[in-house]
Every structure is written in C-alpha cells, then in structure tokens.
Amino acid sequence: MAEIESFKNSDKDLQKVEFTQVDQPGSVGFFGHAKGFWVTFSTIFKKPETVEYPEVKAPTQERFHGRHQLNRHPDGLEKCIGCELCAWACPADAIYVEGANNTEENRMSPGERYGKVYQINYLRCVFCGLCIEACPTRALTMTNEYELADDSREKLIFEKEDLLGPLRAGMLMPPHPMYPDMTDTNYYKGDVTQAHPSQDVNK
C-alpha cells in the first residue's frame, strides 16, 4: 500500500527517458537481392491461385463456419427446443430465441418445448461457433454457405424459416404428432429414422 502511495506521476520525468540507438541493417548485397527475387521468378511458372469469383466458387474447408442451419429430426420435427443456450453462449448477442409450449394440436418438436421465434442477426454474428457447441440437441449447426451480403439490415436478420433445414426424403412438415410409441428420448437416441404414416395428419 505504501509503495503505491509513494508513486506519483511527477516522479517520472519524460525528458530524462533515454533512447538507445538500434543498429540499422546494412546492404543485403547481390545474392541477397537474387534470393529475394527468386521467389517472384519461380512463381511465374506455377498455376495461379486466383479464382474467378463469383463465376467460379471454390469449395470451402469442410469445417468452415458459414451460415447456421436449424436441423430436423428424420421425421421432420424440429430439433430446436427453444432453450436459448445458443443465445446465452453468443458473445455478440446475435441470437434471439423465444420458446413456447408444444401442444397436441401444434407440435413442432418432440417433448414439451419448441423454439417459437428464432432469429440470428448476421450483422452481429462473428461466426465463432460457440452457439453450435452450446446446443444441447444438435439443432443448430453451421453450413459452409458464406454469401451473406445484402442491402438492408432487416434482410440480414434471419428468421426461423430462413434458417430451418430443408425437408428431406421421409420427413413431414411439422406441426405433426410424434412417432407412435416414441418419446423425446428415443428421438435423441436416433431411434426414429423416418416419418410414420400415422404422423401425416394433413393427408
């Protein structure tokens, strides 16, 4: 404590700071230049790395952090339970979620709860992927899609419809009931592989 008190700004005389001379590098000489230009020269004979984007689109690395996707169970029900752990994990406050109660007439996901509102603000998102790590149901993953430029702020707030993955073979568009005799635990274990005919309530 005493040491901190005795230290005052006035003790430090900026005028008295000594500057030391740093040795400047001398000439590299002819061989030095030749070695440097050799990189340039040898590149002339290599295949160019330039990609004619947007006409040509090179694939990204497999684990590239691109646009998010909200996944579905194999019968089409949504995996998202609206728990907001992604929003909690997000360091940029880019995710907004509102949960809601599943009912027998309006079932969007297995279990009690689903994500009613799901928004990601791509003006804020830093693509760190912490949301993906936080997701307890693997509902949220990232795709490799990186073309996310647009001309207004509104368009860059992606809604649930924009983020939901497509319906694949064997899936039914929710809301629909759960697979007969299956619980939400069965869904998470992967026991449901495709929709059951009885789930097609719109037919």
Partner 1 sequence: MTTSAIVDMITVVIDGFEVSVPKGTLVIRAAEQLGIQIPRFCDHPLLDPVGACRQCLVDIEINGRAFPKPQASCTIPVEPGMIVKTQLTSAVADKAQKGVMELLLINHPLDCPVCDKGGECPLQNQAMSTGRTETRFEGVKRTFEKPINISSQVLLDRERCVLCARCTRFSDQIASDPFITLNERGALQQVGIYEKQPFKSYFSGNAVQICPVGALTGASYRFRARPFDLVSTPSACEHCASGCDMRTDVRRGKTLRRLAGDDASVNEEWNCDKGRWAFKYVTAVDRLTHPLVRNGAGVLVQASWPEALAAAAKGLKENTSAVLVGGRATYEDAYGYSKFARVGLGTNDVDFRSRLSSDEECEFLAAYVVRTSTTYRDIDRADQVLLVGFEPEEESPIVFLRLNKQFRKRALKVTAIASKLSIGVEKLKGDFVKVAPGQEAAAVAKQTLNAKSIILVGERACESAGLLTAVAALADSTGAKIAWIPRRAGERGALEAGAIGNLLPGGRPVADAAARVDIAAVWGVPSLPTTIGRSSDEIFAAVNAGTVGALLVGGVDPLDGLHSDDALRALDKAFVVALEIAPSEVTMRADVVLPVAAITEKSGSFLNWEGRARSFDAAVHDSLNRSDLRILSMIAQEMGTSLNLGTVTAAAKEITSLGAWDGERATMTSVSPAQAPSVSGDQFILTSWRRLLDLGTLQQGEENLAGTARQTVAVISPGRAKSMGVVDGELLKISTSHGSVTLAALVEDIHDDAIWAPRNSRGSQLLVNLGIGHGDVVTVVKI
Which of the stretches 28-36, 46-54, 68-76, 98-106 binds partner 1 when contact is defined by CB under 8 A? 98-106
132 to 151, contacts with partner 1 by CB under 8 A? 136-137
Q: How far apart are CA 79 and CA 72, in angstroms?
A: 5
Q: Does 112 bind partner 1 (CB under 8 A)?
A: yes
Site string for partner 1, 18-57 (x = CB under 8 A): ----------------------------------------
Q: Does 70 bind partner 1 (CB under 8 A)?
A: no
Can you tell me whether residue 78 is helix, strand or coil? Answer: strand
Q: Could you tell me the sign of the dihedral formed by the alpha carbons of 90, 116, 81, 179, in that order?
A: negative
Tell me how far, at minimum, the Cβ of 12 lies from partner 1, in Å: 40
Identify whether the C-beta of residue 98 lies closer than 8 Å to the C-beta of residue 195: no
Tell me how far, at minimum, the Cβ of 82 lies from partner 1, in Å: 6
Q: Does 100 bind partner 1 (CB under 8 A)?
A: yes
Closest to partner 1 by CB, 67 vs 109, is: 109
Bridge partners of 120, per DSSP, are 95, 158
Q: How far apart are CA 62 and CA 125, in angstroms?
A: 20
Q: Could you tell me the sign of the dihedral formed by the alpha carbons of 173, 177, 178, 181, in that order?
A: negative
Which of the stretches 48-56, 60-68, 81-89, 161-169 binds partner 1 when contact is defined by CB under 8 A? 81-89
